[in-house]
Chains A and B, each alone.
Chain A
Amino acid sequence: MSIILILIPLSILFALAFLGAFIWSVRSGQFEDTTTPPMRLLLDDKQISDRRPDSESKSK
């Protein structure tokens, strides 16, 4: 059962790493605009030229 004394600090270290990542994402402004990035995702140059022009009209 003493293994738990190592596992617990280890799990906290992992959790702290995720907390750090979250704080970094907030600081870099990722939570301020959640609408445009999904749109930008669709704007890959190659893909768009393959599509029919009117298939995009719904996305407005």
Chain B
Amino acid sequence: MVFDLLTENGLDRFYQFGTAAGVRVNRPTKAERFRFLDEPAVRARLVDFSNAQLTRVTLRLPAIHCIACVWLLENLFRLKPGLGQSQVNFPRQEVSIAFETARVKLSDVAALLASLGYEPELKLADLESPPHPRVPRRLWVQLGLAGFAFGNAMLFSIATYLGLDVFSGPAFQKLVGFISLALAVPVVIYSAADYHRSAWVSLRQKLLNIDVPIAAGVIAIFAQSTFEVVSGRGAGYFDSLCGLIFFLLCGKLFQQKTYERLAFDRDYKSFFPLSVTRKQGRAEESVSLAQLAVGDHLLLRNGELIPADARLVAGPAVIDYSFVTGESEPVEKQADDYLYAGGRQIGGAIEVEMVKGVSQSYLTSLWNQDAFRKDKTATLNALTNTYSQRFTKIVIAIAVGVAVFWAFVDPAKSLKSFTSVLIVACPCALALAAPFALGTAQRVLARRNVFLKNPYVLETLAMVDAVVFDKTGTLTAAGAGSVTWTGAPLSEAEECWFYSMTRHSTHPLPVRIGDAIARNHFPEPVRSFLETAGCGMEGAVAGNEIWMGSGAWLESRGVGCRSRGDETLASSGKKSEPPDVGSYVHVAINGKHRGAYVLESALRPEADALITKLAENYELALLSGDHERERARLAGLFGEAAPLRFNQSPLNKLGFIRDLQRDGQTVMMVGDGLNDAGALKQSDVGVAVVENVNAFSPASDVILAAGMVPRLGDVLRYAKQSVRTVRAAFVISSLYNVVGVAIAASGNLSPIVCAILMPLSSVSVVAFACSVTAWLGRDLADGARSSSSARTAAERAEPELCAPNPMQVRP
């Protein structure tokens, strides 16, 4: 269908971009599904700009993944009359589309995108606040202005430093002075505005943050230089001043590095859909979530999320609660069962009746906790600020002391030496040490698939003394366990048939089975293959009709799965070491049940090593929403003293973390799933473990690729080393200050000394901070290999991310 649409409009070149091009079409899309977008209230919030002729809207399309996507989306105007220019922002996975207001409706645009496979992600959070650019334009302009002034002022000043005024006379020096003054005025007023404001705010709160000595230094240099220029005594220090502000702004830009595809601040609103289908009698309509009321009947199709606690009216439902619990196994529900919000329906459409409002549901009530109102940014940059407290006091004491000393000895030098001390002590290098060292560490970690919300998370990471783990999805992994066959032994031919079947699926379970039984089998051709999402697959191999899928699905087709009764038996402990709840894939040949593959989830490889290693330095604890089946095994791993809590609700987990913090501990919580969301938010450092870094993760400070979990110990050690590097950089910058202050205190600070000393100290401290953190980070290098294999596994588990073509067979 997509192919036809594209060739008709002359866009068939899309397929020449290679095998990566290709969009997975989930289902035919009806424009009615997006009808709610045309409601004035919803529309007004979504569009960027709209008048009678033209409307411009920015939509997030998570399916954008390659260059062909950019090409197709920017040629959108050829597909539909009335569409104007469209522009893709690849790193943010956004497209901005202009269209004629009278001819095209917003719902038509959304429907067109959805029919191409780029379904716009319309979430509840989109309605609340428009997105901001991460690096504000203002900072770029400030930086450009400071750089411009720095370069020009330096050029002119160098001439005077080299003694050029010997040839051109004092008029030249005077001209240079006034030009530099003119260059510096906008820099001090505009580029340095944030430092003045921050210093003022901090002084009013009776605190001394790092911006106080910076602002004091800037004003001192500016006042002293203006005085010198106007009175004709010299050219001032304007070049140093502009350079100082330029370097500071560079540091600010460096630390603003963010990962635009990753969202660290998601709450339930970011994954709840904007609309659901409401059923009134026979009629179905698409309404926005805000209009729902208790008692409404909702229709949920395959893959749709339950927006509020509800009662199942027409089923049967298979609900995937992996968002909420992290458990990947779907749960079967019958009519009249109670369904919690956050579950995802898999398979056919179901009808539910809302029992609670969207914001009062079980899941969303977690976000009403205090932890979610707390702002962690208060502790930001604590390292620099505690140091600068002492630093500022010492500098002011020296400056005043020097001024008093010269007032008695030589009153003419008093004021000059006072400002000189403030100028030299201006903690440019100090202020740059932390942004550059921690910013480099953040980038090093990002290359290993460990993403930090901001560089200052490292400071907190270095202080952590208690580590709390979630079990499911964190310590245990779905892909790590063994695959065993239960039932009568299989013949070689039968196993080969099953292998051929699994080769056609991208679902994680068949892929794992396929990998496990591959051995020497050569796949045979499969005819009339059909996969039903969430149920199973069918096909004919060598003339035999083979069905593989969930027990419920096979039973619905009239196959008795005897061993379904055994599932509870097998998992409740006949064996010496009971497996975690295994996933069963039942197989039937020609309508007769043949047996089942049991896929056990198990501890991640190297998880034991990690726990043993961490136990040496940290207090460990385990919180699991699961039952106690594995207590014995985990107790052996964690040690007898460590608290192991099972059957924990999200609120229990949050409370446990709060208790630890009350005992004065700095807690790191490692978890996935929304059931950990409260604990992640409450903890000092919340680490969200994800199989695929672009997939959903709850609000957290760190997003960690699953493959890096075993190397968590190294990450913590690296955080400590980075913070130590920052401290070392502080020492270096203090040494420069001691030298500078010694010169300044004697009352003989010349502009040339200042012009050399200040950039030298800044550059050397930045070079030291960056190179040492980067060098220390090389130890993490071998982790990259294991995480890249985790990524490929994650990509396979996420077929819509880069599936070549819906009809294409997995190679």
**Measured CA separation A12–B20 after assembly (Å):** 51
Chain B residue contacts of A36, Cβ below 8 A = 70, 87-91
Q: Which of A19, A33, A51, A53 is in CB contact (< 8 Å) with B90?
A: A33
- 5 smallest A-B Cβ distances: which pairs? A57-B18, A60-B20, A36-B90, A56-B18, A26-B140
Given A12-B179, A31-B140, A60-B65, output 6 extra A-B contacts at Cβ < 8 Å: A8-B156, A8-B175, A26-B140, A32-B133, A43-B74, A48-B16
Closest to B134 in A: A32
Q: Which range contains the number of A residues in contact with the other chain?
A: 20 to 34
A-B contact pairs, 5 of them (CB 8 A): A4-B168, A8-B175, A33-B92, A48-B16, A56-B18
Query: Does A15 have its Cβ within 8 Å of any Cβ on chain B?
Result: yes
Contacts of A1 in B (CB 8 A): 167-168, 172
Asked if B42 is at the interface (CB within 8 A of a chain A CB), the reply is: no
**Chain B residues within 8 Å of A27, by CB:** 137, 141
- B781: Cβ under 8 A from any A Cβ: no
> How many residue pairs at the A-B interface have CB separations less than 8 Å?
94
Return A28 CB to nearest CB of chain B, in Å: 10
Q: CB-CB < 8 A to A23: which residues of B?
A: 141, 144-145
Residue in contact with B13 in the complex, picked from A11, A29, A33, A49, CB distance below 8 Å: A49
The residue that B67 contacts in the complex, of A8, A15, A31, A60, with Cβ under 8 A, is: A60
CA distance A4 to B145 in the complex (A): 24
Say if the beta carbon of B338 comes within 8 Å of chain A: no
What CA separation (Å) do A31 and B133 show in the bound complex?
10
| Residue pair A12, B90 in contact (C-beta under 8 Å) | no
Interface of B is mostly: helix
Q: Once the chains bind, are A56 and B16 in contact (CB under 8 Å)?
A: yes
Which residue of chain B is the closest to A36 with respect to CB atoms? Answer: B90
Is B576 an interface residue, CB under 8 A from the partner? Answer: no
Residues of B near any A CB (own CB < 8 A):
13, 15-21, 65-68, 70-71, 74, 87-92, 133, 135, 137, 140-141, 144-145, 148, 151-152, 156, 167-168, 172, 175, 179, 802
| A53 with B18: CB separation less than 8 A | yes
Q: Are A8 and B179 in contact (CB under 8 A)?
A: yes
In the complex, which residues of chain B have a beta carbon less than 8 angstroms from the beta carbon of A15? 148, 151-152
Residues 21-58 of A contacting B (Cβ, < 8 Å): 22-23, 26-27, 29, 31-33, 35-36, 39-40, 42-43, 45, 48-49, 51, 53-57
Partner of A43, one of B65, B71, B172: B71
Interface of chain A, main secondary structure: helix
State whether A19 and B145 are in contact (beta carbons under 8 Å apart), knowing that A4-B168, A53-B16, A60-B65 are contacts in the complex: yes
Taking CB atoms, residues of chain A closer than 8 Å to B20 are 56-57, 60
> Across the interface, which residues of A come within 8 angstroms of B16, CB to CB?
48-49, 51, 53, 56
Evaluate contact between A31 and B65: CB separation under 8 angstroms: no
CA distance A23 to B139 in the complex (A): 11
Asked if residues A35 and B91 are in contact (CB atoms below 8 Å), the reply is yes
Contacts of A18 in B (CB 8 A): 148
Q: Tell me, rounded to whole Å, the shortest Cβ–Cβ distance linking B23 to chain A.
A: 14
CA distance A5 to B156 in the complex (A): 12
> Using Cβ atoms and an 8 Å threshold, which residues of chain B touch A32?
89, 133, 135, 137
Instruction: Enumerate chain B residues within 8 angstroms of A8, measured Cβ to Cβ.
Output: 156, 175, 179
B244 to chain A: closest CB distance in Å? 19
| Cα of A54 to Cα of B74 in the assembled complex, Å | 22
With A12-B179, A31-B135, A56-B18 in contact, do A26 and B67 touch (Cβ < 8 Å)? Answer: no
Q: Is B89 touching A54 in the complex (CB atoms < 8 A)?
A: no
Query: What is the minimal beta-carbon distance from A47 to any residue of chain B, in angstroms?
Result: 11
Instruction: Output the least CB separation between A60 and chain B (Å).
Output: 4
Contact B172 A26 (CB under 8 A): no
Report chain A residues within 8 Å CB of B18. Answer: 53-57, 60
With a cutoff of 8 Å between Cβ atoms, the chain B residues found around residue A29 in the complex are: 137
**Could you tell me the distance between the alpha carbons of A50 and B518 in the complex, rounded to whole angstroms?**
41
Q: Could you tell me the distance in whole angstroms from the C-beta of A57 to the nearest C-beta in chain B?
A: 3
Q: Report yes or no: B175 in contact with A53, Cβ–Cβ below 8 A.
A: no
Chain A min CB distance to B309 (Å): 40
Pair A39/B156 contact, Cβ less than 8 Å: no
Q: Whole-angstrom distance between the alpha carbons of A19 and B67 in the complex?
A: 33
- Please name the residue on chain B nearest to A32 by beta carbon: B133
| B13 adjacent to A40 (CB under 8 Å) | no
A9: shortest Cβ distance to chain B, in Å?
8
